[in-house]
Amino acid sequence: MKSSASRIIGLAVLIAFMATWALPAFAVTQKEELELGRQVHRQLAAQRVLFNDPTVDQYLRRVSNRVLKAAGPQGHPFHFYVIQSDGLNAFAVPGGYIYMHTETINSLQNEGQLAAILSHEVAHITSRHFARRQEAGKMASIASLAGVLAGALLAGGGGGGQNTAALGQALMLGSVGASIQAMLANSRADETEADRKGRQYMVKAGYNPRDMYGAFKIMNEMSYHISSETPNYLRTHPGLTARMASTFGDQANQAPSPPDPAYEAIRDRVLALSAQPRRARSVFQKRLEKNPNDASAIHGLAMLAAREQSFAQANDLLEKANKLAPNNADYLSDLGDLALRRRKIPEAITFYEKSRSLNKGLSATLGLARALELSGKNKEASPYYDEAVNMSGDDYPEALELAGRFFGQTGQMGKGHYLLSRYFGNIGQLKQAIFHCKATIQDPAGGRYRKDCEQNIRDYEELMKDAKS
């Protein structure tokens, strides 16, 4: 298997690439940008490249909410997702969709650096770089452009391995691929503006500006390890070295942020759940050689063992990590998840309740709802499913699926169908989404969701029509 470094794609390359795409020579409305973003996301979700973990999802939303508050009201929601990929990358799609690769999280050092990358991406969207640029070639429709963009992201290491990358590159053939070099050459002004505005956002959000320099320095150093298999149109470096000197030069000699245990815990979690097992195990074992009581490394090995279905080993390691850090809500929730997988339902409930007493996180809340349901306590489970859906919104679709199936099976058919329609809509399975929308409308108790479902049916049918054209 190739080394991680050999497959890294420079972060700024696709930042510039995404920022410079545009529709034909006419103004792009915000409505069209929102539609494009939804379509790109559904295509990515349908490829099963998204990394879904409730703990990581909630952490990412907490950091991004700080950045968005600093950026000010935008008139439309933003969505943040992690893509399963060993390429170092992050990118913004018009309409408020921002994606970060698992390897990017694995490579950064602290929350401030994560906030810096997110701030840069948010700045691309708030500046409407997509709408401001116009491309000479013609696209048949929003749907066809969405397919090209999704294909480019998959070709750039979107997480599905060689087959997915090949599919993405196939979507990029023709005049589209030939025009990308020219568009990249004109992207530096947009990148510089995103650097400047992004820095303002992160500073206003309370982060150290040195962390933006640190994040870009990591990206710059690793971008030279681009694989020989990377398409030529993804190789252009968008002036990052010069931008670091001009925009972040005043921070080069400033002291970096102190160690960040909370971010390190998230990074360890992502590494354990996404990296090649041999690599992840090596990282954690080397740390334990230096410090046998490194609770986060022990927890990482536990998550890796659970990923490999070694549940007894995972339980022993989780219990050890929990003894070293007895008030860690995430460890307790993970112990609940493991107990649930081992069908020890009362034990799972105890761990989830302890976790929620420390922090009412999405993982423990959804886990407690599932455990109560499995123990036959549907009345007690119901409010926790509602709470989990409210906490996650559309950004963690699994909560919608589990809650939808629960409410449908317990007699609340309208509510169940509605939640399942949102679930299938978010993962790009539009026929199923339409089916559940229609079932919601037909149910006597589905009236409260009628307006939303009727609009969604129109949107989904239009998307399917465009996709065929």
b/e code 358-387 from CB counts within 10 Å (16+ = b): eeebbbbbbbbbbbbbeeeebeebbebbeb
Q: Are 15 and 121 in contact (CB under 8 A)?
A: yes
Res. 21 pLDDT band, cuts 50 70 90: very low
pLDDT of residue 153: 58
Structure-token pair, residue 387: 């709470």
In the sheet that holds 97-101, the strands lie side by side as 50-51, 79-83, 97-101, 90-93
pLDDT of residue 149: 58
Q: Nearest 5°: phi and psi at 384? A: -70, -35
Res. 131 pLDDT band, cuts 50 70 90: low
419: amino acid identity, one letter: L
| Mean pLDDT (the chain, rounded) | 81
Structure-token pair, residue 448: 């409260």
pLDDT in tens, 431-460: 999 999 999 999 998 889 999 999 999 988
pLDDT of residue 460: 87
b/e code 3-27 from CB counts within 10 Å (16+ = b): ebeebbbbbbbbbbbbbbbbbeeee
Q: Which of 18-27, 32-41, 121-130, 288-297 has the lowest mean pLDDT?
A: 18-27
Tell me the C-alpha distance between 91 and 98, whole Å: 6
Which has the higher per-residue pLDDT, 433 or 124? Answer: 433
4 Cβ partners below 8 Å, 6+ apart? 86, 103, 275, 276, 279
Q: Could you identify the residue written with the tokens 């990923």?
A: 307
b/e code 216-249 from CB counts within 10 Å (16+ = b): bbbbbebbeebeeebbebbebebbbeebbeebbe
Q: Are 214 and 256 in contact (CB under 8 A)?
A: yes
240-246-251 Cα angle (round to 5): 95
314: amino acid identity, one letter: A
pLDDT of residue 128: 77
pLDDT in tens, 74-90: 888 999 999 998 878 88
Res. 233 pLDDT band, cuts 50 70 90: very low
Tell me the C-alpha distance between 179 and 176, whole Å: 5
Res. 181 pLDDT band, cuts 50 70 90: very low
Checking if the pLDDT of 276 tops 70, the result is yes
Average pLDDT for 383-388: 98
Q: Nearest 5°: phi and psi at 93? A: -115, 140
Checking if the pLDDT of 277 tops 90, the result is yes
Tell me the C-alpha distance between 150 and 184, whole Å: 18
pLDDT of residue 292: 97
Tell me the C-alpha distance between 413 and 187, whole Å: 50
